[in-house]
Structure 1
Amino acid sequence: MKIKEIIVVEGRDDTTAIKRSVDADTIETNGSAVGDAVIEQIRLAQETRGVIIFTDPDFPGEKIRKLVAEQVPGCKHAFLAKPDARPKNGRGIGVEHASKEAIRNALKDVKEEMADTDPVILKSDLLTAGLIGGPKAKDRRERLGVLLKIGYTNGKQLEKRLHMFKITREAFAQAIEEIVREEQQND
C-alpha cells in the first residue's frame, strides 16, 4: 500500500511501524514540543504532497495533532483506537505498538478536515445521546470515536471534531444506535 501524503508521527519507533506496514514517508515531531523548523517542514509537505497526522491515541498525541492542525490547515487525520495501540504486555500506548493491519486500516479510513460550514450536530444532540454529562459518557465517546473513525475526544472537543470531519446526522445516529444496541446486549 503506497501513501502519497507525508505522515506526521511522534517519533522514530512510529516511523518504523509505519514503514513496516505501508510504503510512505514520515516527518517526526520528536515529542509534543514541536519546533518551528518541524512546522515549516510540515507546511512544505502539505503544499507539495499533503499531510496525514497520525499520532498516538493519548493526551500528548492529541496535543500534537491539535497544534499541527492549527499551524498547518487542511491536514488529513488517521486515528488508532486505544486497544489497537497497546502492546501485548499492556504497558504504554502508541502507533509503534499497532499491528500492520491496524495501521493500514487507520490509513484507509483517513478523515479530511473541513471548515467554514455550520455544525450539523449540536451540543444538545451530544447531551441527548449521553455523550456528555452522564455516567457512561466517556465510554460512549470512546466507542463513538471508533465507530466513526475520528478517534477519542473529551466532551468539550467532541462537537468540534464531529464538525471538523463533517460527520453527517445519519452517520452520527447510526453510531449512537449501535452503541445503545451494544449496551443493551451487555446488560
Structure 2
Amino acid sequence: MIKEIIVVEGKDDTVAIKRAVEAETIETGGSAINKETIRRIRLAQERRGVIVFTDPDHAGERIRKIITREVPGCKHAFLTQEAATSKGDIGVENASPEAIRQALAAVRTDGGTSESEVTMEDLMEAGLIVHPQAAARRLAMGNRLGIGYCNGKQFYNRCRMFCISREEFEEARRELDATEGQAHE
C-alpha cells in the first residue's frame, strides 16, 4: 500500500489508481477545487503525505498549481500525454495500470524554494524557450525529467521546485538532441 494519499481529479481517476496500486485518494471534483478540499489535502499532507496526480492537461495543471501554492511540500506524479490519452480524451483514467505504477515510481518531491542549478539561459540554449520548436522540446524534456509539460516560465519553476540538477538537465538534453538527430537522418 502507498503510504501517501493520492490527489486526483475525479472518481474515474480513483478507479484507475486502485486498478494499479493499493492506495487511498482525495478527489478534487475537477478544476473547481474548493476550500474544504484544500483543507482535507492539507490534513492529509500533515498526517501521511500527499502525491498530486492530476491529468496532463490545462485543468490538471491548474489544480496542481493551486495545491502547490496552498499545500507546500507535496509530492508529484506525472503521466505523459500519450500515456493518458484514449480516443482523444486526456486523463489519468485512461492510463494503463503499468503507466500509473511507473509514474508513481518516478514521483518528484516539491523542494519548496530550493534552488536548481538550471538557469533561464540554460533553457534558452537547450531550445526550450525562444525557439521555433520550444513547445515540443519542453514536452520531450519534461517527460524525460519526469516533471510533465508546461510553458517556459513554469518549466523553469519546476526545475527549481523539484531541484533538477545540472547533470539531470544536461543528460535529458543530450538524450533529446540524440533522438532528434536520429529523426533527421
CA deviation after TM superposition for structure 1 residue 94, in Å: 0.3
Runs of 4+ in structure 1 deviating by more than 4 angstroms, as ranges, are: none
Aligned to 2:58: 59
Aligned to 1:99: 96
Unaligned 5+ runs, structure 2: none
CA deviation after TM superposition for structure 1 residue 116, in Å: 3.3
Aligned to 2:175: 178
How many percent of aligned residue pairs carry the same amino acid? Answer: 54
Give a deviation string over 1:129-186, Cα, whole Å, max 9, x none: 1000111111110001111111111112111000100110001001001111111100
1:135 equivalent among 108, 132, 135: 132
Cα distance in structure 2, aligned partners of 1:73 and 1:13: 26
Cα distance in structure 2, aligned partners of 1:15 and 1:118: 33
Structure 1 residue 154 corresponds to structure 2 residue 151:
yes
Counterpart AA for 1:93: I
C-alpha contact 2:113 2:161 (8 A) present in aligned 1: no
Structure 1 residue 47 corresponds to structure 2 residue 46:
yes
Structure 1 residue 85 corresponds to structure 2 residue 84:
yes
In the superposition, the TM-score normalised over structure 1's length comes to: 0.96
Cα distance in structure 2, aligned partners of 1:185 and 1:34: 43
Structure 1 residue 25 corresponds to structure 2 residue 57:
no
Cα distance in structure 2, aligned partners of 1:166 and 1:155: 16
